[in-house]
Structure formats: structure tokens, C-alpha cells
């Protein structure tokens, strides 16, 4: 359960200046000021023990790029002490992030997130410290930091009290496993295009039915993978 002191995020990174980033603004920023959640960015380099503060080395077996050293990252993780929070590693190799996973994380006391850089992270520290690899999509970023910010954005916005009433009773994409129906607001006519008449009919049953049909149509067209299999 989320404790009274709020959701605690710790990010291990070579670029701590990237945090809290956009999460210091808007509703997440207000919630941060109110103490509803906290973020601590830990510099991995501080756990290097050589005079050059080395954090990476060439890949065993050869190849391009550099690999984050297991001993340095393990010390950074161990410096957090006894910690029951899930430990994630942002990586394009990870399991894709879903709204279901976001809800699961938001129900915890917090999260530890390791941001990868270079070509990767030594597999032995991933295994030894039980890091769960998470991807935000099938594309490659230059590092895990924007992915960590994206994951935290999705988690923080659903923490109790962060969005106020704005979340309650809404039909968000993925909440019912479907993409959200189209939305409209005034003016009634925009560049010759009208708001669908059912939405201004006042017939709530008809509105709900229309929204569900639209959500199903949109999902079938754009994301058929989200629809239940009929077998």
C-alpha cells in the first residue's frame, strides 16, 4: 500500500539533472510540493572507486559501444539499503509498459528505477539485483531517463489526490481495455463540421452507447491487438 508519506521514486542515473524534469511542473509538480510523492536522483558515478570515476567498459566478446559495469551499479543499488520497492531497469529489451503495470506500480510504496546508457548493462547485475526490464515502446532512446520520466508520469497522475476529481468517472484510453472515444466541445459548428447530434441530445443512454461503439470502432481500426480474442 502507498504509505502516508507518499510514493517514493528513486532513480539511478548518470544524468541526475534530468530529474524531476517535466514532473516538477503542472499537476505532478504540485503533488511533489505537497509531498504526495518524492523523487531522489542518485548519481551512479558516485559509486565508481577508481580515480577516473569510470562507470563503463568495452563489451566482452567485442562490438561497438560501452557496457555499464556491474560492480558500480550494484554498489549504487545497495546504497539504498533495505528496500522492498520493485526495481526496474528501463531498456528497449524490456516487457512493454501497460496501463495495467502502471496501476500495479502506483499501488506500491514507490519504485527504484535504473536508467541504462551506452550499449547496455552487464547481465550479471540485472540477475543479481533482480532488475525487471521495462520498455516504453519499440524504438531506441539514447538512454533510459526519458523512459523513466514517462513511466513516473503515468504512475504519479493516478496516485490518490494528484488529479483531484479530474480522473473519476472518466473513460480514459485503456481503462476498459479500449482506446477512448472521440471528444468534442463548443462551438457547435467548427469550419463546417458539427458535433455529432447524439452528444447534444441529452439522452445519456444513447450517448453511452455511441461512445462504446466509437471506442470499439477506433480500437478495431488502430489497435486490433487490444480487442478480446473470440475463441
CB 41 within 8 A of CB 72: no
CB 19 within 8 A of CB 11: yes
Q: Give the other-Cβ count within 10 Å of 72's Cβ.
A: 23
Q: Which stretch binds ligand ADE (CB under 6 A): 41-49, 84-92, 166-174, 215-223?
A: 84-92
CB 7 within 8 A of CB 110: yes
Q: Which of residues 132-171 bind ligand ADE (CB under 6 A)?
A: 135-137, 139-141, 144, 147
CB 105 within 8 A of CB 132: no
Size of the site for ligand ADE (CB under 6 A): 12
CB closer to ligand ADE out of 31 and 115: 115
Q: How far is the CB of 221 from ligand ADE (least distance, A)?
A: 25
Q: How far is the CB of 193 from ligand ADE (least distance, A)?
A: 36
Q: How far is Cα 70 from Cα 85, in angstroms, rounded to an integer?
A: 20
CB 88 within 8 A of CB 104: no
Tell me, residue by residue from 106 to 135, as one string, x for binding to ligand ADE by CB under 6 A and - for no binding. ----------x------------------x
Site residues, ligand ADE (CB under 6 A): 90-92, 116, 135-137, 139-141, 144, 147
Amino acid at each position: 500500500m502507498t504509505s502516508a508519506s507518499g510514493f517514493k521514486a528513486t532513480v539511478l542515473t548518470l544524468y541526475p539533472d534530468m530529474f524531476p524534469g517535466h514532473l516538477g511542473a503542472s499537476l505532478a509538480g504540485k503533488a511533489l510540493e505537497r509531498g504526495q510523492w518524492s523523487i531522489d536522483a542518485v548519481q551512479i558515478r558516485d559509486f565508481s572507486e577508481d580515480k577516473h570515476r569510470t562507470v563503463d567498459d568495452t563489451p566482452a566478446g567485442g562490438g561497438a559501444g560501452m557496457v555499464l559495469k556491474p560492480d558500480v551499479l550494484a554498489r549504487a543499488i545497495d546504497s539504498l539499503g533495505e528496500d522492498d520497492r520493485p526495481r526496474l531497469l528501463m531498456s528497449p529489451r524490456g516487457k512493454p509498459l501497460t496501463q495495467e503495470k502502471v496501476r500495479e506500480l502506483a499501488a506500491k510504496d514507490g519504485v527504484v528505477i535504473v536508467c541504462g546508457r551506452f550499449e547496455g548493462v552487464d547481465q550479471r547485475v540485472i540477475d543479481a539485483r533482480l532488475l525487471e526490464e521495462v520498455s516504453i515502446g519499440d524504438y531506441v532512446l539514447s538512454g533510459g531517463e526519458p523512459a523513466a520520466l514517462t513511466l513516473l508520469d503515468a504512475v504519479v497522475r493516478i496516485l490518490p489526490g494528484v488529479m483531484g476529481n479530474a480522473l473519476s468517472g472518466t473513460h480514459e484510453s485503456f481503462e476498459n481495455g479500449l482506446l477512448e472515444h472521440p471528444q468534442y466541445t463548443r462551438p457547435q459548428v467548427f469550419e463546417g463540421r458539427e458535433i455529432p447530434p447524439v452528444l447534444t441530445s441529452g439522452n445519456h443512454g444513447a450517448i453511452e452507447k455511441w461512445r462504446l461503439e466509437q471506442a470499439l470502432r477506433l480500437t478495431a481500426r488502430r489497435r486490433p491487438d487490444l480487442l478480446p480474442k473470440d475463441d
